[in-house]
Amino acid sequence: MQIKILGCSGGVGNGLRTTSILVDNDVLIDAGTGVGDLSMDALLAIDHVFVTHSHQDHIAFIPLLLDTVFGIRSKPVTVYACKATLNALRTHIFNWKIWPDFNAIPNAQTPFLQYQEINVGETITIDGRNITPLPANHVVPTLGYQIDSGEASLVFTADTTSCDALWVEVNKIKNLKYLIIETAFRNDEIDLAKLSKHLCPSLLEAELRHLVSQKLEVYITHLKPGEAEVIMQEIASIKTPHNILALQHQQQFKL
């Protein structure tokens, strides 16, 4: 299984793309602005989009993806998310005011956009690849994801602050190889981090203490533009046995 980071920034700017992860060639985890770098052939190959939550930086290119490939491919695209996120997409995006309702095009019986509600712990298997929703703690209902090839797993926490339930599930994973976890704010912004339910380096340090794994490859995502260097310097000073690096645009993992 090949995993490619299409975007991992907490904002936009020259060379920056918001959250999106491509699994092999047909599955997206979130659809931020990084999707816009894909070729037409790559866009046409996407059959499944797993959404963590309804915030714009994670869903921005779902409407544009559907609009681009509609009429060229006949197979529908399935969007997976928790009930609250699906309701947000239906109500606020695919409502004929912001964007056409692709769940009703070309008709209600054979829609181009299919919704599939998923819940924590319910594994979706696609061609031998297991994708399992995980708990998260954000200002809107949010899911993290475990991506499991059978040989190894990668966990993407999505946007979250402290979440004991997440680590209960993560610590059950026997083949965990990579952890992608957000840290959006500096330590001096801890009040803002708590208010917006994100992490800062000191909160990250406390979260990593929950891990039973002796040593993991940990990658930091959702760094705020203009603050990434300071945040990573603060992370470098935390006490942890894990190797921690900033996640990079276009970085690839093999599971």
pLDDT digits (tens, 9 = 90+) for 5-58: 999 999 999 999 999 999 999 999 999 999 999 999 999 999 999 999 999 999
Whether 205 is in a domain gets the answer yes
214 falls in which pLDDT band (50, 70, 90)? confident
- Same structural domain, 73 and 164: no
Judge whether 177 and 151 are in contact, CB under 8 Å.
no
Q: Which amino acid is at 18?
A: T
List the CATH number of the domain containing 40: 3.60.15.10
Q: What percent of the chain has pLDDT over 90?
A: 98
Whether 163 is in a domain gets the answer yes
Q: Which amino acid is at 87?
A: N
Question: In which domain, by residue range, is 145 found?
Answer: 119-247
What would the mean pLDDT of 141-147 be, rounded to a whole number? 98
pTM of the model: 0.97
- Is pLDDT above 90 for 248? yes
- Same structural domain, 109 and 129: no
Whether 199 is in a domain gets the answer yes
Overall number of domains in the chain: 2
Whether 72 is in a domain gets the answer yes
Whether 255 is in a domain gets the answer no
- Same structural domain, 124 and 109: no
Tokens 């490859």 sit on residue:
217
Judge whether 199 and 182 are in contact, CB under 8 Å.
yes
Indicate if the alpha-carbon torsion angle 39, 40, 46, 51 is positive or negative.
positive
Q: pLDDT per residue over 187-204, tens digit each?
A: 999 999 999 999 999 999
- Same structural domain, 127 and 159: yes
- Same structural domain, 196 and 149: yes
- Same structural domain, 33 and 50: yes
